[in-house]
Amino acid sequence: MKTKIIYIAKTIAPFVFFICMWLVAISFSKINRALLPAPQDVFFALKEFVASRTLIPDISSSLFRAIAGFAIGGSLGLACGSLTARIPFLNWLISPIFNGLRALPPVSIVPLVIVWAGMGESGKIFITSWAAFFPVWLNTHDGITSVDKNIIWAARSLGAKNMHLLFDVILPSAIPRIVIGFRLAVSTTLVCVIVAEMTGATVGLGYRLELAYLVFRVDRMIACLLVLAIIGISADRLFARFSSIIFPWIALRHELK
């Protein structure tokens, strides 16, 4: 119990320190509060979001777009990564193209997607899927192609072949890399959902941010960013916790190395 309190205190302390410094900076300088609002201004902006009943719809629609993209792009990435890693012909045919597309910042495809898919939901989910796809594809591909050959040999000498070899041995041994791919995808989808929303939406945190920018409300902009940061950190923590529950052996290997 006591250690838990200490742990929580240690986690919160840096943020408290940051807010204190912020307060100090505000009270001892002559910066225009419209440009740099005080912490309490941001808090009031947040309260406004809650009062106007926009916060929850904003968060939920942004999260929906991010999660949908993560699921679609992630599963396609996993499937394509397995295929390009295992089938040399597909690797030769497709990987160079994927690598070319991967080199583009996902943000840069937004105008094109708007032209092709309009401002609707499908275009946004396309962008977040795009963002999730590449890290998962690349890490799955690399994870599978770099499996220790002794592991494969060991499995073969124990009677595994074809599908068993792929699903019982090769994919599981690539899991640590695949998990890294998905973890990267969590953050890239969150980035891209905001970008997609900033360029045309009627709801969502990116839209709220853009709206605050248009009316020059820095306090609201920072409030949006605060919410985003909290979502980003929680998503990453949640993912790490979740993956260590399903794959407890990954962390073991890393601790001992």
Partner 1 sequence: MSTAIAFDNFQLVYDKLTVSYVSGSVKKIVLKEFSFKVERGKFIAIVGPSGCGKSTLLNATAKFIKEDSGTILLDGQAIKKSSLDIGFVFQNYALFDWLTVEENIGFGLKFTNLTKSEKKVTVEKLLRDIGLIEQRKYYPAELSGGMQQRVALARSIAPKPKVLLLDEPFAALDTDTKIKMRELLLQLWRVHGTTILFVTHDLEEALFLADRVVIIQGVDGIAGTIDVSFPRPREFSIVYTTEFRGLVENIANKFRTLKQSTGP
Please say which residue, 156 or 237, places its beta carbon nearer to partner 1.
156
- Residue 173 lies near partner 1 (rule: CB under 8 A): yes
From candidates 67, 175, 225, 226, binder to partner 1 by CB under 8 A: 175
Longest dimension (CA), the chain: 75
Separation in Å, CA 118 to CA 67, 71, 103, 107, 208: 20, 22, 24, 16, 19
Cα–Cα distance, 130 to 125 (Å, whole number): 8
Least Å distance between CB 160 and partner 1?
7
Least Å distance between CB 167 and partner 1?
12
- Residue 172 lies near partner 1 (rule: CB under 8 A): yes
Q: Which residues, 6+ apart, have CB-to-CB distance to 175 below 8 Å?
A: 143, 247, 250
- Residue 245 lies near partner 1 (rule: CB under 8 A): no
- Residue 242 lies near partner 1 (rule: CB under 8 A): no
Task: Report the candidate in 224, 188, 159, 195 with the shortest Cα–Cα distance to residue 77.
Answer: 188
Taking CB under 8 A as the rule, which mask of x and - marks residues 97-126 in contact with partner 1? Answer: ------------------------------
Give the alpha-carbon dihedral of 245, 249, 255, 257, to 10 degrees: -160
**Hey, what are 27's tokens?**
């009270």
Least Å distance between CB 95 and partner 1?
23
Contact residues for partner 1, defined by CB under 8 A: 148, 150-151, 153-161, 164, 168-169, 172-173, 175, 247-249, 252-253, 255-256
